[in-house]
Amino acid sequence: MKKITLFIATLFIVSSAMAQTADTTKRWTKGGLGTLNFGQASFTNWAAGGENSISIGALLNVFANYKHGNDSWDNSLDLAYGMLQSGVAPLRKNEDKIDFSSKYGRKAFNDHWYYSALVNFKSQFADGYNYPDDSNVISHFMAPGYLLGSIGMDYKTKNNSLSLFISPVTSKITFVNDQKLADAGAYGVRAAKYDTVNGVYGIVEHGDMLLDQFGAYLKFTFKKDIFKNVNFSTKLELFSNYLKNPENIVVNWENILGMKVNKWLSASITTNLIYDDNIPVPVKRVENGVEVLGTGPRVQFKEVLAIGLSYKF
């Protein structure tokens, strides 16, 4: 609970600071959105059944874009954290995100194409578990962490509502800053080697904590007010590793539909679809007529409906 309290406090401190220091020059465009969402359900003698629950989540999205002459520099930071308590189960994390992106461009031709270089970092704040197992950590800050550097061409509209970045030269590094997870080969890193030494079976070489990949990358973003007080944004990222199984494309697709009720109240629907061969998820399969639980690459999908307080700056 201390983590989410600290995060929420930081969110609104940063939001206020950004609002107070907004650049009034035409070269910089700054802004963002901070939201605090609540959810609650209570049942008393409810014949149809149900489970009491409460949830709280915070989201911060800020951007700072520079445009002058033939140069452009776009920066964005997305932070999210949420907790859920249902029934007698302990408080659990249901949202956790760190996503920073910075892209520099130099005009190539006409008013839309730029030679561009992009840096992107993704990770999370807190430990993750495969509930109902809450004793074995399967992820935490920098396990995994993703750092991507890319050079290519960027097509974008003058108002930055649409951007298509295409790169044939991309380096992607996956960090697994936890030796136990690294030894297990989590998130695609090389797993530990085991053997018997002096009659004792154990690890003879620890797993790698880094995974280097080199390949092609595409990032498409679009944002538009589709109705009054209704905004839609989407971000699609594709990556193909030249060095191993280039046909297995990593997909990360996010959508946000935001609706503004008034100055302070808002509602949003967010979805996130991920496919990555390096991230095995629990899978049930049948072997010899018996259902067993294993792991394997699968499409991951998340949907969140939130209603709460918002502040736009």
pLDDT given for residue 157 in this prediction: 92
Alpha helices in 38-132 (DSSP H): none
Q: What is the DSSP letter of 306?
A: E
The correct CATH number of 2-312 out of 2.40.230, 2.40.160, 1.20.140, 2.60.40 is: 2.40.230
Residue 289's pLDDT band (cuts 50, 70, 90): low
Q: What mean pLDDT do residues 25-45 have?
A: 85
pLDDT given for residue 307 in this prediction: 87
Question: Which residues are registered as beta bridge partners of 112?
Answer: none
Q: What is the DSSP letter of 223?
A: E
Q: Could you report the per-residue pLDDT of 103-157, keeping only the tens digit for each?
A: 999 999 888 999 999 999 999 999 999 887 888 899 999 999 999 999 999 999 9
Q: What is the DSSP letter of 44?
A: S
Q: Could you report the per-residue pLDDT of 250-263, keeping only the tens digit for each?
A: 999 999 999 988 88
pLDDT given for residue 282 in this prediction: 61
Supply angle C-alpha 225, 226, 227, rounded to 5. Answer: 95
Least confident range from 48-52, 165-169, 227-231: namely 48-52
Q: What mean pLDDT do residues 65-90 have?
A: 91
The amino acid present at 231, given as its one-letter code, is N
pLDDT surpassing 50 at residue 306: yes
All residues at 6 or more sequence positions from 248 whose CB lies less than 8 Å from its CB, including other chains: 240, 241, 277
pLDDT given for residue 89 in this prediction: 82
Q: What mean pLDDT do residues 37-50 have?
A: 82
Q: Which pTM does this prediction carry?
A: 0.84
**Nearest one of 76, 189, 83 to 128, comparing CA atoms:** 83
**How many angstroms separate the Cα of 146 from the Cα of each of 149, 180, 309?**
10, 18, 31
Q: Could you report the per-residue pLDDT of 173-201, keeping only the tens digit for each?
A: 999 999 999 999 999 999 999 998 888 89
**How many angstroms separate the Cα of 58 from the Cα of each of 189, 216, 229, 235, 271?**
32, 33, 20, 20, 16
CB atoms within 10 A of CB 84: 16
Which pair of structure tokens corresponds to residue 264?
């302070």
**Where in the chain are the domains?**
2-312
What percent of the chain has pLDDT above 90?
Answer: 58
Residue 82's pLDDT band (cuts 50, 70, 90): very high
Residue 97's pLDDT band (cuts 50, 70, 90): very high
pLDDT given for residue 273 in this prediction: 95
